[in-house]
Amino acid sequence: MATQTQESTAPAEGASSGLPQFDLQWWPGQIIWFLAIFVVMLLFIRLFAAPRVGGTIDAREDKISGDIADARRLKDEAEAQAQAAAAETAQARAAAQRVAAEARAKAQAEVTARLAVEEAKLAEKAAEAEARIGKARDAAMANVASIASEAAGAIVGKLTGKAATAAELATAARGS
């Protein structure tokens, strides 16, 4: 039995014991097939794959360039709109300040007019009050002479025991 095992594992006569790629007798055929496949692959890549990939890359570059140009254009438009909005805001602010100044001036004029009217009313009331005070003072001064003659008659009557005559009291009131 031992002899059969040795026979089965031994290589047959004329057979190579290594890989066929490294066996020199197969190299010419392998080189021909390699060159044929290489040429076919080269032609396929050159005629079909590379133009498609190149076209895709060119299309992508064109799209990116177009998108960048659109973005720049939109950015410029947005900046122009922002500047226009800022100008409109400045104009609106100036108009609002102008309206506020006009309203302030109008209110000040109304206050000044009302103040002048009220001051005129107060001056009129003060003049009326001065006139009433003057009349009351004149009336009081007129009564002072009669009160003084009555007081002088009462004093004379108390001191002398006799009543003074009206002519004597009038002469005494005049100071003569």
In a domain, 15, yes or no: no
In a domain, 10, yes or no: no
pLDDT above 90 coverage of the chain, percent: 53
Contact residues for 78 (Cβ-Cβ < 8 A; gap 6+): none
Tell me the C-alpha distance between 74 and 77, whole Å: 5
pLDDT at 104: 95
Q: What is the pLDDT of residues 107-129, one digit of tens each?
A: 999 999 999 999 999 999 999 99
In a domain, 139, yes or no: yes
User: Is the pLDDT assigned to residue 5 strictly greater than 60?
Assistant: no
CB atoms within 10 A of CB 106: 10
Q: Identify the domain containing residue 101 by its residue range.
A: 32-174
In a domain, 6, yes or no: no
Q: What is the pLDDT of residues 39-78, one digit of tens each?
A: 999 999 999 988 998 888 999 999 999 999 999 999 999 9
Counted domains in the chain: 1
Lowest-pLDDT range, 20-29, 38-47, 63-72, 79-88?
A: 20-29
In a domain, 123, yes or no: yes
* SS3 state of residue 14: coil
Residue 176, CA distances (Å) to 9, 167, 168 in order: 184, 12, 10
In a domain, 119, yes or no: yes
In a domain, 84, yes or no: yes
In a domain, 131, yes or no: yes
pLDDT at 16: 56
Q: How confident is the model at residue 87 (pLDDT cuts 50, 70, 90)?
A: very high
Q: To the nearest whole number, what is the mean pLDDT of the chain?
A: 85
Tell me the C-alpha distance between 85 and 91, whole Å: 10
Q: Angle of helix 166-174 relative to helix 50-160, nearest 10 degrees?
A: 130
Global pTM reads 0.39
